[in-house]
Amino acid sequence: MPIDIYSKRLGINRCYVIKADGCIMIDTGPPKSGRAIEKWLKTIPINPQEIQLIILTHGHADHVGSAMSVKKITGARIALHEYDKDMFESGDIVWPSAVTTWGRVARVLFRPLTPLFRFPKGKVDVVLRNEGLSLVDYGIPGKVIHTPGHTPGSVSVLLETGDAFVGCMTHNSFPFRLSPDLPIFAEDLPGLRDSWRMLLEQGVETIYPGHGGSFSPDDILKALS
């Protein structure tokens, strides 16, 4: 079964649409990205209504901020892990903990931007649990895997092709990192490292981050060593 991957940059974020027998979307960018996503969907060979599921890699505002707009455009159901569900459903903006020096500086610098990240409260339709979720019922040869560390409820999508969509298990673009590495923000860095090892053992070929372009697992193996 051919699998097509489409990627869209939304400010500093990236979202993805994956099409095989079915169609899903991963992340939705920061608040107010709905119109940009709607325009983008017209440029790729996907009918917005084909998208059945929106998987949010975690509950931070720059990933979930436009989920309700995308739901309106596509009619898709929204999936998020139970541990991050409250962030989305309360509309609260949670600034993540810094784990690098630049992370600590960036946290102070970015904090005044909080109003830009305000988003309307959402509603999760599919609550993801620690055991993950097969995507076969959605026509996608792959699965959702619980990969905690950046947040307690972070998840990744791994396709049978080895393509892995990992949200903020890595940062690979300005203003975070200039090359693929571990994220500058994480609630549990040792846990994040464990999640990476567990994911890589499952045969990852290409990593698609929530910030920055795709890269090979070798780059992350270096960061883990």
Chain positions contacting Zn ion, by CB under 5 A: 60, 62, 168
85 in Cβ contact with 124 (< 8 Å): yes
Of 10 and 23, nearer to Zn ion (C-beta) is 10
CB of 58 to Zn ion, least distance (A): 5
CB of 62 to Zn ion, least distance (A): 4
CB of 43 to Zn ion, least distance (A): 24
CB of 136 to Zn ion, least distance (A): 28
**DSSP line for 47-105:** -GGGEEEEE-SS--HHHHTTHHHHHHHH--EEEEETTTHHHHHH----PPPB-SHHHHH
Of 52 and 154, nearer to Zn ion (C-beta) is 154
117 in Cβ contact with 93 (< 8 Å): yes
Q: Helix 217-224 vs helix 189-200: angle between axes, to the nearest 10 degrees?
A: 140
For Zn ion, which residue has the nearest CB? Answer: 60
Of 60 and 177, nearer to Zn ion (C-beta) is 60
Of 60 and 71, nearer to Zn ion (C-beta) is 60
Adjacent-strand bridge partners of 4 = 19
CB of 211 to Zn ion, least distance (A): 6
Give the span between the Cα atoms of 93 and 78, in whole angstroms. 19
Tokens of 211: 């910030």
Give the span between the Cα atoms of 185 and 142, in whole angstroms. 27
Of 102 and 134, nearer to Zn ion (C-beta) is 102
224 in Cβ contact with 193 (< 8 Å): yes
CB of 45 to Zn ion, least distance (A): 28
Amino acid identity of 125?
A: D
Of 62 and 163, nearer to Zn ion (C-beta) is 62
145 in Cβ contact with 58 (< 8 Å): no
